[in-house]
Amino acid sequence: MDKLTAMAGRVGGLLKEKKTTVAVAESSAGGLVSAALLAVPGASAYFVGGGVIYTQGARRGLLGVPEAVATMRGSTEEYAAIMARAVRDRLGSVWGLCETGASGPTGNRYGDAAGHVCVAVAGPVERALTVETGSPDREENMWRFAAAALELLEAALRDAR
C-alpha cells in the first residue's frame, strides 16, 4: 500500500492545490484506488466518494447509467470514459476516475486476458488508456490497475489549466 499511498499523496496534493474534487468508480482494483486516496491526510478536501462498480446492477443502481451502457462491453476505453463521466456527474465532482478490467487468474466474459485493464479520467482534461500486465496474478494486477488509475489522474491534473 505504501507505493499507492505515495502516488495518492501526489494526486491529493494536486487536487488540493487546484481546489478541485474527484469521484471514483472502480471494478477490478476492488477499492484500492479509493483506499489510497483516502489514506492521505486531508482527503476530505478533494475526495467526494466512489464505489466498486462490479456488476451490471451496480452500474444501473449506483451510477444510474442507461441500460445500453450497463450492458455494453465493460473492459474498453470507451466504457471506462462513460463510467468516469457518470461517477463524476452522479456525485457532483469536477473529476471522475474509472478503472475496469480483468484481474485474473483467468480473463473476463468479454474475452480479455487476465491483466487487461482500461482506465479513464473525465474532467477538464479527458484521457483513457489500456494496460496489459501479462500476468494472471489477481492481487498483483489489482495493485497495478490501481497504480495505472492514479498515474492517469495525476497526468490529467498536471495538464489541466
Axis-axis angle for helices 2-17, 138-159 (nearest 10): 20
pLDDT tens string 2-25: 899 999 999 999 999 999 999 999
pLDDT tens string 27-61: 999 999 999 999 999 999 999 999 999 888 888 88
86-101 in b/e form (b: 16+ CB < 10 A) is bbbebbebbbbbbbbb
pLDDT, averaged across the chain = 94
- Fold observed for domain 2-159: Maf protein (3.90.950)
Would you give the end-to-end CA distance of the chain in angstroms? Answer: 30
DSSP code, position 112 = P
pLDDT at 70: 66
Domain boundaries along the sequence of the chain: 2-159
* Max Cα–Cα distance, the chain, nearest Å: 41
